């Protein structure tokens, strides 16, 4: 595994030497207003020159990133690619460790970790936003660190990194229930042997601990910036959608075409829509919280407010740690082809619309619909396979269906 990790990281560093950043840095599939590197630089520049970066509507990153990049880590054309590559490497390493913790008793783990690391680092949905230096790389890395610490049973690190992740991306607060279940129940694969979960009383102190961490970080953010405007600019952006920049998600065109009278209702509906998947998936997959986390990540990647390509990319890469469900996937080829279709059309139609002017917004919107369909198919297939595996192989002439 280490050879593979080292090799692929070297390839990534080599790729960072080419001026690919200049091509990708403002690409709207790879970056969003919440994750763009140009906006991060703008915020740090304003902060260093004494202006409140949250007084304008350009900077929407968390104050934690603002303070990190204005004091400890300078943003430079040489150091930033190194930092992003390092984050990718940490994420890949965490993913391979999650696999090892899940399969603690089997021997095939040795040969597979290299494949897992390669599937994470070489997934174009993940390394292209990383080349564009979008901060969604930090989101992915923090998510993988959270899940790895939860699998290892390390309560403070898991909850603290979840708190950091919540500050970078508000939708991630919905990962708290499955992470708590993961801390209490462990990562071993129990998909084929489901049992009821009985330790709900122990969940409450963990939830309190997580909210204390989030609160402390919020207070630190307020101290750093001097006022509370960062809340409406960063967290409020996911809820009120102030910027309608195109991205691979479904919210932007819906709210572009929405009349103002209905906007608050539909904003509330779309936010509630993300909320309603947490409890059912956690309840149904309480015997395997790691799988529940994986499924919720897929749901949020498809339906969150400002997604980039790295969110579904993480979902697809995480498929590699669940090889037990592969025989039970119903339509992997359709999903793959839909993804191929969408990933080729998204940049093409984006360029036709905004750069060339020969297409219009509907072209790009249609390709985001196909992309949403591809991600939806992937999640639905994963849910079916995760449930079907409990019944094992059946005799010829018999099929397991849902009535």
- Termini Cα distance of the chain: 44
**Residue 180: exposure state from Cβ atoms within 10 A (0-12, 13-18, ≥19):** buried
Which of 17, 111, 259, 393 is in the footprint of another protein by CB under 8 A?
A: 259
> How many positions of this chain bind another protein (CB under 8 A)?
65
Q: Is 207 in the site for another protein (CB under 8 A)?
A: no
Distance CA 312, CA 307 (A): 8
Q: Is 354 in the site for another protein (CB under 8 A)?
A: yes
Which of 143, 148, 164, 253 is in the footprint of another protein by CB under 8 A?
A: 253
Q: Is 361 in the site for another protein (CB under 8 A)?
A: yes
User: Are the beta carbons of 325 and 385 closer than 8 angstroms?
Assistant: yes
Q: Is 22 in the site for another protein (CB under 8 A)?
A: no
Distance CA 297, CA 300 (A): 5
Q: Which stretch binds another protein (CB under 8 A): 64-72, 126-134, 214-222, 362-370?
A: 362-370
Which of 56, 156, 327, 392 is in the footprint of another protein by CB under 8 A?
A: 56
Q: Is 174 in the site for another protein (CB under 8 A)?
A: no
**Residue 224: exposure state from Cβ atoms within 10 A (0-12, 13-18, ≥19):** middle
Per-residue contact flags (x/-) with another protein for residues 326 to 345, judged by CB under 8 A:
--------------------
Q: Is 79 in the site for another protein (CB under 8 A)?
A: no
Q: With respect to another protein, which residue has the nearer C-beta, 152 or 244?
A: 244
Which of 284, 324, 331, 336 is in the footprint of another protein by CB under 8 A?
A: 284
**Residue 279: exposure state from Cβ atoms within 10 A (0-12, 13-18, ≥19):** exposed
**Any residues with CB less than 8 A from the CB of 70 and at least 6 apart, and which?**
44, 47, 48
Q: Is 401 in the site for another protein (CB under 8 A)?
A: yes
- Kindly state the smallest distance separating residue 54's Cβ from another protein, in Å: 9
Q: Which stretch binds another protein (CB under 8 A): 43-51, 132-140, 211-219, 337-345?
A: 43-51
User: Are the beta carbons of 187 and 83 closer than 8 angstroms?
Assistant: no
Both tokens of 382, joined, read 């994963």
Distance CA 162, CA 146 (A): 6
Looking up tokens 């209702």, which residue turns up? 265
- Kindly state the smallest distance separating residue 254's Cβ from another protein, in Å: 5
Site for another protein in 213-252 (CB under 8 A): 242-246, 250, 252
Q: Is 369 in the site for another protein (CB under 8 A)?
A: yes
DSSP 2-70: HHHHHHHHHHHHHHHHSTHHHHHTT-TTT--TTT-HHHHHHHHHHHHTT--GGGSSS--S-HHHHHIII
Q: Is 281 in the site for another protein (CB under 8 A)?
A: yes
Q: Which residues of the chain form contacts with another protein (CB under 8 A)?
A: 26, 28, 38, 41-42, 44-46, 51, 55-58, 242-246, 250, 252-260, 273, 276-277, 280-281, 284, 299, 302-303, 353-355, 357, 360-362, 365, 369, 372-373, 376, 379-380, 383-384, 387-388, 391, 394, 396-403
């Amino acid at each position: 595994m280490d050879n593979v990790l080292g090799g692929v990281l070297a390839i990534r560093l080599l790729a960072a030497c080419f001026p690919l950043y200049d091509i990708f840095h403002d690409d709207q599939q790879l970056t969003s207003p919440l994750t763009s590197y140009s906006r991060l630089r703008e915020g740090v520049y304003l902060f260093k020159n004494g202006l409140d970066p949250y007084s304008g509507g350009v900077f929407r990153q968390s104050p934690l990133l603002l303070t990190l990049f204005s004091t400890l880590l300078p943003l430079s054309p040489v150091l930033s690619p190194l930092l992003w590559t390092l984050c990718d490497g940490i994420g890949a390493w965490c993913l391979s460790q999650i696999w090892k913790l899940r399969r603690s008793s089997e021997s095939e783990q040795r040969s597979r970790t290299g494949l897992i690391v390669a599937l994470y680092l070489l997934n174009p949905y993940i390394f292209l936003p990383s080349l564009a230096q979008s901060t969604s790389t930090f989101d992915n890395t923090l998510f993988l660190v959270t899940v790895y610490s939860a699998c290892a049973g390390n309560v403070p690190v898991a909850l603290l990194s979840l708190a950091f992740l919540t500050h970078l991306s508000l939708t991630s607060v919905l990962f708290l229930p499955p992470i708590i279940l993961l801390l209490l129940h462990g990562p071993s694969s129990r998909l084929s042997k489901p049992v009821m979960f009985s330790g709900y009383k122990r969940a409450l102190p963990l939830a309190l601990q997580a909210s204390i961490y989030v609160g402390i970080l919020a207070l630190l953010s307020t101290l750093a910036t001097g006022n509370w405007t960062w809340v409406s600019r960063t967290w409020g952006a996911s809820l009120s959608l102030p910027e309608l920049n195109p991205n691979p998600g479904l919210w932007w065109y819906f709210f572009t075409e929405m009349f103002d009278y209905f906007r608050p209702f539909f904003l509330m509906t779309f936010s509630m829509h993300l909320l309603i998947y947490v409890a059912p998936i956690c309840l149904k997959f309480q015997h395997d919280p790691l799988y529940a986390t994986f499924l919720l990540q897929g749901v949020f990647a498809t339906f969150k407010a400002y997604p980039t390509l790295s969110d579904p990319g993480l979902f697809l890469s995480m498929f590699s740690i669940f090889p037990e469900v592969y025989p039970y996937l119903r339509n992997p080829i359709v999903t793959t082809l839909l993804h191929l279709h969408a990933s080729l059309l998204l940049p093409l139609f984006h360029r036709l619309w905004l750069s060339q002017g020969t297409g219009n917004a509907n072209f790009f919107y249609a390709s985001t619909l196909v992309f949403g369909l591809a991600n939806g198919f992937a999640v639905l297939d994963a849910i079916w396979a995760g449930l079907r595996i409990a019944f094992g192989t059946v005799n010829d002439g018999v099929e397991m269906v849902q009535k």
